[in-house]
Amino acid sequence: MDNLIPRYHLLMKKEDFLERKRKGVFNGFYGPLSFCDTEPTLERFLPMFHKVGQPWAWSNIAKYRDMPKLNKHFKDNHARLVHLLDDVKIVGYSLLVDPDSKTKEEILGDYSGLKIAEIENLGLFPNQAGKGRGFKFFEMMLTELFKNNDCVYWSMTSTNHSGLFDFYTNKIGMTHIKTTYAPSPVVEKVADYQDKRKIA
């Protein structure tokens, strides 16, 4: 599988979220952290996407290079774009969508009877990462999505920080449901960036 990297597909069911909430893993206390919706347009999305994804070469991913298809993806899958805030400062963003038909068929087929939301992107700007806020922002998105959904789906690749798989499966409590393989984006100095970046 030369030039292919694993993509890990993770899922959390509402009952598992509520159980972790009951145990105090998720406590609903966010301090000065919050989020707010913004208009889900490419003009608003792309600058934040490139800012967060630059160290991981996200801009080389085919899905995000075809603007007409990306715009259609936003509309067809009811994209919701939110700013992540620390007090009043925007420190990152999250993109929430309904899983597309391919994902439903190839990844989520075993959960076809359930209502599923996807956290497609969630990230802090490079100068805002590593301050211990990632867990709380992810908790916020889970709390928001479980208001109207049975499951929340998230996927990640191995080009992201090497400790993130453990973060999402053990600390957040998501279940690893499948691994697929995709072409690797061209990434320069990712290892150096990983060494310097602290897991949230």
Q: For residue 198, what pLDDT is reported?
A: 41
Q: For residue 153, what pLDDT is reported?
A: 98
Q: Could you tell me which residue, 189 or 53, shows the higher pLDDT?
A: 53
Give residue-wise pLDDT tens across range 70-117.
999 999 999 999 999 999 999 999 999 999 999 999 999 999 899 999
pLDDT band at 157 (very low <50, low <70, confident <90, very high): confident
Question: Per residue, what are the HEC states of the chain?
Answer: CCCEEEEEEEEEEHHHHHHHHHCCCCCCCCCCEEEEEECCCHHHHHHHHHHHHHHHCHHHCHHHCCHHHHHHHHHHCCCEEEEEEECCEEEEEEEEECCCHHHHHHCCHHHCCCCEEEEEEEEECHHHCCCCCHHHHHHHHHHHHCCCCCEEEEEEECCCCCCHHHHHHHHHCCEEEEEEEEECCCCCCHHHHHHHCCCC
pTM across the whole model: 0.89
Domains of the chain: 4-184 (3.40.630.30)
Measured between alpha carbons, how far is 162 from 134 in angstroms, rounded to an integer?
15
Q: Return mean pLDDT, the chain.
A: 89
